[in-house]
Amino acid sequence: MTARVYTETADPDLRPEDVPRRPAHGTALFVRPSHFQVLYRINPHMTGRADPAVATEQWQTVVDVYDDYATDVEVLDPSTLYEQTLRDGPKPAPAPERLPDMVFCANQSMPHPTEKRVLLSHMATRERMAEVEYLRAWYESEGYAVEQLDTQATFEGMGDALWYPGRELVVGGYGFRSERRAYEELSERFDVPVVMLKLTLEDCYHLDVCLSLLDEETALLYPGALTDAGVETLQSLVDTVIEVPREEAIEGFACNAHSIDGQHVVLQRGNPETVRKLHDHGFEPIEVDTSEFMKAGGSVFCMKLMLP
């Protein structure tokens, strides 16, 4: 498949089944929430304070679920990464106390689906920029070829750029954090098609807040966060779109769910309609509590990064 970007059109001349297969992700990467807190407000959810002790317990429960269902789990410690940045980085990075959103490790990078290569993010907000240097240090120590965008475009990794299940195809959200130009470059670099979807609602500032691709045929979606053309584009890609009601999407982070293996779907608890619909479509929901992280604007999907 050649590199190409698609904007919202009701019928992109693209069929996921025509795109080359990619192997399933094998490792779930996590960053310990050792300095997690809500210290600034860069999305509309960030209005209160989080309880660090409760957050740590909730995070551990999520990691344990992945331990049970994913092939491998890798946990990074911000202090260790910080030391690595001091040893290897071009200039001293800020200390981990100043990076309270590090735990959302879907955002700082996007690994290549098959090669040991990674594209680092260019965060849209000043508050989160230095997190990328922490991840760079880790990837370098692991022997990855580390790449950066040539364009000045902002790009927030796998919070906005979602791999289509089983295929070398990306569905990318833009409008709040990531820019369209970033997807043009991503598409060229990784030689994959990218279907771009415009985000229209600030509560869903990342694509993973309104969309989760569950398997090759099914997506979980809050349609109110996309344009009509965007919803139609998605409908033309997947057979079944499971619609999530507004309240469960915005207050319950129901779409920030992750289908670990195309069967088990980890999601925030307290979303009864989404859970019922998942059951109806043959999925097995695994409900966890990420309430403290939701106060920062994230839940299950963005608390991990899937590595090939």
* Nearest alpha-carbon partner for 129 in 158, 93, 97: 93
Site for ligand ARG in 253-272 (CB under 6 A): none
For strand 4-6 and strand 193-198, is the pairing parallel, antiparallel, or unpaired?
parallel
302 sits near ligand ARG (criterion: CB under 6 A): yes
Interface with ligand ARG (CB under 6 A), residue total: 15
Q: How far apart are CA 137 and CA 141, in angstroms?
A: 6
One-character DSSP codes across 176-191 = SSS-HHHHHHHHHHHT
Taking CB under 6 A as the binding criterion, the range among 24-32, 98-106, 223-231, 259-267 that sits at the site for ligand ARG is 98-106
Tokens of 194: 């990218």
Whose Cβ is closer to ligand ARG: residue 93's or residue 209's?
209
Strand order in the sheet with 117-120: 109-111, 117-120, 145-147
225 sits near ligand ARG (criterion: CB under 6 A): no
Q: How far apart are CA 165 and CA 12, in angstroms?
A: 18
Give CA separation, 198 vs 176, 180, 205, 301, in Å. Answer: 9, 9, 10, 19
What lies within 8 Å, CB to CB, of 85 at 6+ separation is 92, 93, 133, 134, 136, 137
Closest distance to ligand ARG from the beta carbon of 46 (Å): 6
297 sits near ligand ARG (criterion: CB under 6 A): yes
Q: From the list 5, 43, 112, 194, which residue makes contact with ligand ARG (rule: CB under 6 A)?
A: 43
237 sits near ligand ARG (criterion: CB under 6 A): no
Site for ligand ARG in 119-148 (CB under 6 A): 128
296 sits near ligand ARG (criterion: CB under 6 A): yes
Q: From the list 22, 136, 167, 206, which residue makes contact with ligand ARG (rule: CB under 6 A)?
A: 206
Closest distance to ligand ARG from the beta carbon of 225 (Å): 12
Q: From the list 209, 214, 219, 267, which residue makes contact with ligand ARG (rule: CB under 6 A)?
A: 209
208 sits near ligand ARG (criterion: CB under 6 A): yes
State the helix-helix crossing angle for 78-88 and 131-141, rounded to 10 degrees: 80
Q: Site residues (CB under 6 A) for ligand ARG?
A: 42-43, 101, 104, 106-107, 128, 159, 206, 208-209, 296-298, 302
